[in-house]
Structure 1
Amino acid sequence: MTHTKEDGYVGQVEFQVEGHKFPYEITLYSTKGKEWSYGLHFLEQSGSEEQILEVEDLLEENDEYFDMLVEAAKNSLQN
């Protein structure tokens, strides 16, 4: 994760979901480190649209899972 005055916080986390064939990468954005937006995509190669939609639903419905990814990104903050 990086932080600049102009761009705020930007970080990526690579992760896998049990039962899914391909890994994912999430890019997290926040101006002040409080409210986060994200972009989700397959890490290496495209998988099924159904599976990525499942992960998006998981991120939207499960704050604990989303917060875990945000914390992983924060732990890599480069000053």
Structure 2
Amino acid sequence: MAVCSIIEASMTYTKEDGYVGKVQFSVEGHVNQYEMTLHSRKATEWGYGLFFLNESGNEEQLLELEEELEENDELFDQLVEAAKDKLVRL
């Protein structure tokens, strides 16, 4: 299981856009840091995008992390919760 350290997180809510969040984090053993963007209309089903944070990096590690996020609900929920903890309603 990947061990993540949250660098920064944020989330906003508007009636028009729903919930839009962002989590910046590092993963133990990975050279690069990541950013995950989140979107949900009702804060139940989450769509996301996973990107390198500062510069392009090891594509293989990114794909491994993406696979883990798909299979590991606990890890995914940890990142979603980090963003939800910073929720600002606009």
Query: Which category of TM-score, normalised to the shorter sequence, fits these structures?
Result: over 0.9
Alignment-derived partner of residue 2 in structure 1? 12
Q: How does 1:16-55 map to 2 (within 5 A)?
A: 16-55=26-65
Superposed displacement of residue 45, structure 1: 0.6
Following superposition, which runs of at least 4 residues in structure 1 exceed 4 angstroms of deviation?
Answer: none
Partner SS state of residue 35, structure 1? coil
- Distance of 1:50 and 1:76 partners within structure 2: 30
Number of equivalent positions: 79
> How many Å separate the matches in 1 of 2:47 and 2:26?
20
Tell me the CA shift for residue 49 of structure 1: 1.0
Identity %: 66
Gaps of at least 5 residues in structure 1 are none
Give the Å deviation of 1:73: 0.4
* One-letter code aligned to 1:74: K
TM-score (norm: length of structure 1) = 0.97
Q: Distance in 2 between matches of 1:31 and 1:78?
A: 15
- Aligned-residue RMSD, C-alpha: 0.6
**Which amino acid in the other structure matches residue 28 of structure 1?**
L
What secondary structure, in the 3-state scheme, does the structure 1 residue paired with 2:43 have?
coil
